[in-house]
């Protein structure tokens, strides 16, 4: 049996018909075409599929789409825009901000920090890290190394060895502080 | 790795949930952080899922001087941030990872009854209860004490048709400290072995009550009252070298041995039974000492 549900994904209201067993990860990727959310292990270990549900990071592979009917979801696709909206007031690159197109594609501070610090190599785990770290820094804007390691402990990365990811989280905290 | 099909029910109040559970052979879906992996791996294939996520009345944390009642929809992270019970808060930080804790529920962890999980041990060491409801013309509730609640590995006293609506964690008495010590292969994994301890001291820092609950070393949390074995142990000078210190050391070591004797660890791919038995002894002594130290500090406060 199909269920009609409404999800607010990255600010846009999306109506979709899904069977009850549809995982939120598959709903985002297959039904809504948002393939930025990656699916690794499908049993909650790797953290690649992490998205923000009403602002809090959750595993989309351990959530049924029907359960979150009516709730707000932010995927990695929504982080850039979220960053751009916040940047609107004043940013370190004012010349670019004038262009509407640049607004749409402007990366969020966390995304910029990952790029700057080489916090990714193959990039498969990155959407999960970005969502996790975005929420983590909202709760803890100036974390210590240990707090960062604890904060990202639920996300696996097979390339970087994590050191540059930890650096990127520190850098993102700096960028966010500058914006405030 | 896709869950098998099921019929989905989304009741909006407890009564509707209980009526549905009485009619169909279903599993309850709360946080889903244990159930959905099992379904994804096709280890579980319930015909009906009764999703309680829309039942707002189950989201309450009610703290009173006597204890804290945690509703079936209270997420691990909400209970952690509520900070309503020191031992519960401490144990919650050891449960999986923060992202899992945003979704998983306290009561769900209890009902799942994994013998290596932290929260069943907390309920057991505190002698807490789980409130279970079913439909019999009206909602009928019963309170199940922890020692009867955990019946085997991944088995609890919740019967088909029943819903665990809340759990009750009794508050700690005065001059009481707690600790939770565990060893896991990786941070956030289920522990190879773990021990939580509750120690009460008198005004001279002598132990008047000491209980531990061990995880990963038996089919259910293993609760051991080590008050007698702790004789001579105290919270004041847990590491000192004087004669009093030696007597204290012997008291803690006796208690740890008593704990070891009560546990029946099994060997698996992660650790041998002998290693688990060794761990539980070391962890019991460490947990008891730390709990006593905290109790001493609480006494001074």
The dihedral region occupied by B253, where left means phi > 0, alpha psi between -120 and 50, and beta the remainder, is alpha
- Tell me how many degrees the CA angle A163-A165-A167 measures, rounded to the nearest 5: 75
In the stretch 224-253 of chain B, residues with CB closer than 8 A to chain A read: none
Residues from chain B contacting residue A57 (CB–CB below 8 Å): 98-99, 102
Instruction: Please name the residue that has the structure tokens 């916040």.
Output: A86
CA-CA distance, A27 to A61, in Å (whole number)? Answer: 10
Q: CATH topology for A2-74? A: Ubiquitin-like (UB roll) (3.10.20)
pLDDT digits (tens, 9 = 90+) for A155-178: 999 999 999 999 999 999 999 999
- Answer yes or no: do B206 and B90 share one domain: no
- Answer yes or no: do B191 and B238 share one domain: yes
Partner-chain contact B77 A56, CB within 8 Å = yes
- pLDDT of A88 > 50? The answer is no
B111 inside domain: yes
B2 inside domain: no
CA-CA distance, B111 to B100, in Å (whole number)? Answer: 17
Looking at the complex, does the CB of residue A26 fall below 8 Å from at least one CB of chain B?
Answer: yes
**Out of A21, A42, A57, closest to residue B4 by CB:** A21
Q: Report the CATH number that the domain containing residue B98 is assigned in CATH.
A: 3.30.465.10
Q: Which residues form the domain of B16?
A: 7-51
Q: CATH topology for A76-179? A: DNA polymerase; domain 1 (1.10.150)
Q: Report the CATH number that the domain containing residue B229 is assigned in CATH.
A: 3.30.390.50
User: Where along chain A do the CATH 1.10.150.120 domains lie?
Assistant: 76-179
Q: What is the dihedral of CA B112, B76, B104, A11, to 10 degrees?
A: 170
Partner-chain contact B187 A150, CB within 8 Å = yes
- Which stretch of A108-122, A159-173, B5-19, B286-300 has the lowest confidence by average pLDDT? B286-300
Partner-chain contact B33 A44, CB within 8 Å = yes
B239 inside domain: yes
Q: What's the pLDDT score for residue B272?
A: 96
- Answer yes or no: do B45 and B71 share one domain: no
- Answer yes or no: do B42 and B126 share one domain: no
Distance (Å) of CA B245 to CA B49, B103, B197:
57, 46, 20
Q: What's the pLDDT score for residue A83?
A: 52
- Answer yes or no: do B182 and B296 share one domain: yes
Our CA-based measurement puts residue B52 at a distance from the nearest CA of chain A, in whole angstroms, of: 9
- Answer yes or no: do B252 and B292 share one domain: yes
- Answer yes or no: do B253 and B137 share one domain: no
Q: Report the CATH number that the domain containing residue B43 is assigned in CATH.
A: 3.30.43.10
* CA B145 from centre of chain: 13
- Answer yes or no: do B142 and B113 share one domain: yes
Average pLDDT, chain A: 90
pLDDT digits (tens, 9 = 90+) for B108-143: 999 999 999 999 999 999 999 999 999 999 999 999
- Answer yes or no: do B107 and B222 share one domain: no
Q: What's the pLDDT score for residue A147?
A: 96
**Out of A1, A58, A155, closest to residue B102 by CB:** A58
CA-CA distance, B120 to B33, in Å (whole number)? Answer: 16
Q: In the listed set B108, B142, B170, which residue is the last one of a domain according to the structure?
A: B170
Instruction: Specify whether the CB–CB gap between B212 and B125 falls below 8 A.
Output: yes
Structure confidence at residue B232 as a pLDDT band (50, 70, 90): confident
Most confident of B167-171, B252-256, B260-264: B167-171
In the stretch 12-41 of chain B, residues with CB closer than 8 A to chain A read: 29, 32-33, 36-37, 39-41
Structure confidence at residue A96 as a pLDDT band (50, 70, 90): very low
Of B3, B49, B45, give the one whose Cα is nearest residue B24.
B49
Instruction: Specify whether the CB–CB gap between B223 and B213 falls below 8 A.
Output: yes
What is the C-alpha radius of gyration for chain A, rounded to an integer number of angstroms?
16
- Answer yes or no: do B79 and B187 share one domain: no
CA-CA distance, A82 to A74, in Å (whole number)? Answer: 9
- Which stretch of A81-90, B131-140, B148-157 has the lowest confidence by average pLDDT? A81-90
User: Where along chain A do the CATH 3.10.20.30 domains lie?
Assistant: 2-74
Q: Exposed/middle/buried for A12, CB within 10 Å: 0-12, 13-18, 19+?
A: exposed
Q: In the listed set B151, B170, B189, which residue is the last one of a domain according to the structure?
A: B170
ipTM of predicted complex: 0.92
Instruction: Specify whether the CB–CB gap between B129 and B169 falls below 8 A.
Output: no
Q: Return the structure tokens found at A103.
A: 């607004």
Q: What's the pLDDT score for residue B236?
A: 60
Residues from chain B contacting residue A42 (CB–CB below 8 Å): 1-2, 40
The answer, as to whether pTM is greater than 0.80, is yes
Q: Please, which residues bridge with residue B8 across strands?
A: B49
Of A108, A116, A157, give the one whose Cα is nearest residue A134.
A108
Structure confidence at residue A84 as a pLDDT band (50, 70, 90): low
Domain count for chain B: 3
């Amino acid at each position: 049996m199909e269920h009609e549900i409404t999800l607010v994904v990255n600010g846009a209201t999306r109506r979709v018909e899904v069977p009850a067993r549809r995982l939120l990860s598959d709903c985002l990727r297959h039904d809504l075409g948002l393939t930025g959310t990656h699916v690794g292990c499908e049993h909650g270990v790797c953290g690649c599929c992490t998205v923000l549900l009403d602002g809090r990071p959750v595993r989309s592979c351990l959530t049924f789409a029907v359960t979150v009917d009516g709730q707000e979801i932010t995927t990695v696709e929504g982080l850039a825009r979220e960053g751009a909206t916040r940047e609107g007031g004043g940013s370190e690159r004012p010349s670019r901000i004038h262009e509407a197109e640049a607004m749409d594609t402007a990366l969020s501070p966390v995304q910029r920090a990952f790029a700057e610090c080489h916090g990714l190599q193959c990039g498969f785990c990155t959407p999960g890290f970005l969502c996790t770290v975005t929420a983590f820094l909202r709760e803890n804007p100036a974390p210590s190394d240990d707090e960062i390691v604890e904060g990202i402990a639920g996300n696996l990365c097979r390339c970087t060895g994590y050191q540059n990811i930890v650096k990127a989280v520190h850098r993102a905290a700096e960028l966010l502080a500058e914006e405030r | 790795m896709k869950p098998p099909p099921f019929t989905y029910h989304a009741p909006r109040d407890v009564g509707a949930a209980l009526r549905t559970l009485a009619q169909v052979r279903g599993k309850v879906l709360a946080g889903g952080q244990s159930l959905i992996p099992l379904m994804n791996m096709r280890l579980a294939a319930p015909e009906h899922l009764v999703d309680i996520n829309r039942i707002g009345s189950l989201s309450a944390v009610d703290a009173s001087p006597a204890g804290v009642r945690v509703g079936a929809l209270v997420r691990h992270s909400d209970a952690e941030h509520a900070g309503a019970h020191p031992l519960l808060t401490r144990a919650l930080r050891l449960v999986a990872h923060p992202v899992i804790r945003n979704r998983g529920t306290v009561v769900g962890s209890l009902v799942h009854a994994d013998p290596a999980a932290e929260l069943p041990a907390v309920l057991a060491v505190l002698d807490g209860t789980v409130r279970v409801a079913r439909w019999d013309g009206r909602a009928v509730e019963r309170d199940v004490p922890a020692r009867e609640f955990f019946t085997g590995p991944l088995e609890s006293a919740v019967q088909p048709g029943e819903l665990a609506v809340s759990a009750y964690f009794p508050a700690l008495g005065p001059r009481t400290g707690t600790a939770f010590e565990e060893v896991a292969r990786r941070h956030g994994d289920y522990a190879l072995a773990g021990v939580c301890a509750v120690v009460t001291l008198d005004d001279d820092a002598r132990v008047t009550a000491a209980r531990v609950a061990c995880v990963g070393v038996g089919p259910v949390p293993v609760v051991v009252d080590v008050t007698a074995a702790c004789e001579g142990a105290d919270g004041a000078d847990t590491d000192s070298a004087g004669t009093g210190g030696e007597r204290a050391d012997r008291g803690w070591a006796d208690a740890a041995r008593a704990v070891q004797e009560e546990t029946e660890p099994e060997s698996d791919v992660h650790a041998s039974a002998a290693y688990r038995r060794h761990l539980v002894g070391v962890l019991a002594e460490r947990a008891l000492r730390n709990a006593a130290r905290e109790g001493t500090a609480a006494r001074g406060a």
